[in-house]
Structure 1
Amino acid sequence: MNTDMPAVGFGLWKIPLEDTAATVLEAVKAGYRHFDSAADYGNEGETGKGLSQAMQEGLVTREELWITSKLWNTFHAPDHVEEACRQSLDDLKIDFFDLYLIHFPIALEYVPIETRYPPEWVYDPDAQNPVMIPAKVPLHATWAAMEALVEKGLVKNIGVCNYNSGLVHDLMAYARIKPAMLQIESHPYLTQERLIRLAKDYGIDVTAFSPLGAQSYFELDMAAEGESLLGAAPVMVAASAHGKTPAQVLLRWGIQRGTAIIPKTTKPDRMRENLDLDFELSQVEMAAISSLNQNRRFNDPGTFTEAAFGTFHPIYD
């Protein structure tokens, strides 16, 4: 990694609000120093409580932590980027972000924080037919406002999530401050080898979200039970060979191919297990796991926006 970011982070998406503070505290105790948050997750206030308690108890200092958050779609207009960043900083009870990312290359109509926060996807959830309302904000304008956050000392590094190769090329053509990170969905069913190679060629580090694949999506009805990678033959063979769990093999595969990973769990034993990746997969094992690729994307706005938010809005097709 070009940055000082720990390669294994703790993902905060879908952690229930009532569990978040205690979960974050447990994660610090388990050894996590990298926390991946976002305004849209709706639990940054509770995450802040957990981190503050960990620091008050002397378990960790702010300097030892790497905290990432993300700019939500409704705050893309340059006038609203700093407002969104400061709200997340206040919620997390910190003075700066180690990394701040554009969450999606999707600009939506602004919703004031006092009206609804987090704003989520639809402009007016009380409308007869709630829909997303795109905003006419070019990505280069949002990026310039992200650069201003660095210059004001609110953010140390900036980057993007869910960009495709065309958008990465475009970003590198105008960025004054180069992106430090590209965060994308990646696992053995969606290896994204060309996109990862492109990012590395540009000197951009890569974080893989959903490194276990379908596991994050069962409860959302965005994956079928048969799509679990934990039972895939090459994963199980490697797990048996190394005396590790299938989940540890999947996470090790992600690390070994040069990406950071951000697994999520609320169980302390799983937290420790997900950090215990000090083993090496062979080239044969790595290749066998990579050969599982189906280009299967679970987190696809082209699918879920129409189903959930009444708006067809693909970004990968």
Structure 2
Amino acid sequence: MEVAYIVFILSFNIKYAYSATDTSVYLLNDGHKIPTVALGTSLGHLSDGTRVLPVNHSLARAVQWALEAGYRHIDTAALYRVEDEVGLGVQHYIEDNNATREDVYITTKLWNDAHDIDEVIPALKKSLDDLKMDYVDLYLMHYPMAYSVNPSITQVELVDWCKEHGVVVMAYSPFGGILGRKKDAPPPHADDPTLVGLAKKYNKTVPQILLRYLLDRQLVAIPRSTNKDRIKENIDIMNFSLTPDEVENLSKFNSDYRLRTPVKWYSHPEFPFEKKNLSDAEIKYIIEHSKED
């Protein structure tokens, strides 16, 4: 399996007191447990590519609200430029709720250009029992992977491969274009009869159905929000499950629709995704006028 861009996902937690039957966590193959729902902390981009940053500690408040609502997993990355806000939110949660740092699982990511892979791989090897795997397998076998997954882009082959190799997949962009305003987004949309019907059946919202779909595929869901009520709603998905047939029916919406395609990486010889039909001039313009990542 070729991997053009490796994101080292560094997951920080010290101990967990969950029982073996706790469905709010997945067991990693190194014996640690990862909570199945994480608050996403990327705030997205403006139309010109500028990354949106928090104002007046809005994200720190969202992190605290999430932890108080029952989340035990916060997903972030150096690329998002919000790790200080995440830390502040965790600190306030601990101080205000008589909690400890061990109660919070934080996932962050280190990109290829932020480290020397010749230094990282030996360090990882030193901490693992099996030293016979090549570096891709070494990474995949012990760390979760993050990919865009939702009914519009099911990634079945990739997810199945990861399951076969004991890798937990974290599903970012869990709503894809389904709840968004992308005019070119394919079905389903939020008012789709299938989604609305499932929401009525389970007395849930369409976003909750989409998140539960991921959990029923044994994926970690990473919804993002800074709205207190929405944050609470997104974690309220542990008291029901979709049937296997319902999961299969939602997967039939797959059209491999990727919400964002990183045009800046098109020129890489091992670019791993499908490319949008853009001319060389259009690609050059996007790269030159995109302010950030």
Length-normalised TM-score, structure 2:
0.70
2:6 counterpart residue number: none
Q: Percent identity?
A: 28
Q: Which of 264, 270, 283 is the matching residue for 1:305? A: 264
Q: Which of 8, 28, 41 is the matching residue for 1:12? A: 41
Distance of 1:230 and 1:60 partners within structure 2? 37
The letter for the 2-side match of 1:262 is I
Kept in 2: contact 1:191–1:290 (CA 8 A): yes
1:116-131 correspondence to structure 2 within 5 Å: none
For structure 2, the 5+ residue unaligned runs are: 1-25, 44-51, 275-293
Distance of 1:177 and 1:300 partners within structure 2? 23
Higher relative contact order (CA 8 A, sep 6+): 2
- SS of the aligned residue for 2:169 comes to strand
Distance of 1:142 and 1:279 partners within structure 2? 45
The letter for the 2-side match of 1:36 is D
Distance of 1:169 and 1:191 partners within structure 2? 28
Query: Cα offset for 1:273?
Result: 0.8
| Structure richer in helix, relative to its length | 1
1:290 paired to 2:251: yes
Distance of 2:94 and 2:217 partners within structure 1? 33
1:213 paired to 2:190: no
- SS of the aligned residue for 1:244 comes to coil
Query: Cα offset for 1:209?
Result: 0.7
Note the alpha carbon deviations across 1:116-156, whole angstroms, 9 max, x for none: xxxxxxxxxxxxxxxxxxxxxxxxx37505617x84xxxx9
Note the alpha carbon deviations across 1:167-204, whole angstroms, 9 max, x for none: x99711xx288332111110000001111110010111
Note the alpha carbon deviations across 1:7-61, whole angstroms, 9 max, x for none: 0111001174221111111111111110001001011111111111111223531
Distance of 1:169 and 1:197 partners within structure 2? 20
Note the alpha carbon deviations across 1:269-313, whole angstroms, 9 max, x for none: 111111111212123321211110001111322xx327xxxx644
1:186 counterpart residue number: 149
Distance of 1:176 and 1:225 partners within structure 2? 35
CA pair 169-146 structure 1, distance change in 2 beyond 3 A: closer
Distance of 2:222 and 2:98 partners within structure 1? 21
Structure 1, 59-68 or 198-207: larger mean CA deviation: 59-68
Q: Which of 104, 119, 136 is the matching residue for 1:171? A: 136
CA pair 216-53 structure 1, distance change in 2 beyond 3 A: farther
- SS of the aligned residue for 2:136 comes to helix
- SS of the aligned residue for 1:5 comes to strand
2:102 counterpart residue number: 63
- SS of the aligned residue for 1:214 comes to coil
2:78 counterpart residue number: 39
The letter for the 2-side match of 1:241 is K
1:316 counterpart residue number: 273
Distance of 1:11 and 1:289 partners within structure 2? 23
- SS of the aligned residue for 1:208 comes to strand
The letter for the 1-side match of 2:106 is I
1:2 paired to 2:31: no
2:162 counterpart residue number: 199
Measured on the aligned residues, the alpha-carbon RMSD in Å equals: 2.7
Query: Cα offset for 1:229?
Result: 3.5
2:14 counterpart residue number: none
Length-normalised TM-score, structure 1:
0.65
Distance of 1:247 and 1:264 partners within structure 2? 12
Number of corresponding residues? 227
CA pair 204-176 structure 1, distance change in 2 beyond 3 A: closer
Note the alpha carbon deviations across 1:240-281, whole angstroms, 9 max, x for none: 211111000000000001101110111111111111112121
- SS of the aligned residue for 1:191 comes to coil
2:291 counterpart residue number: none
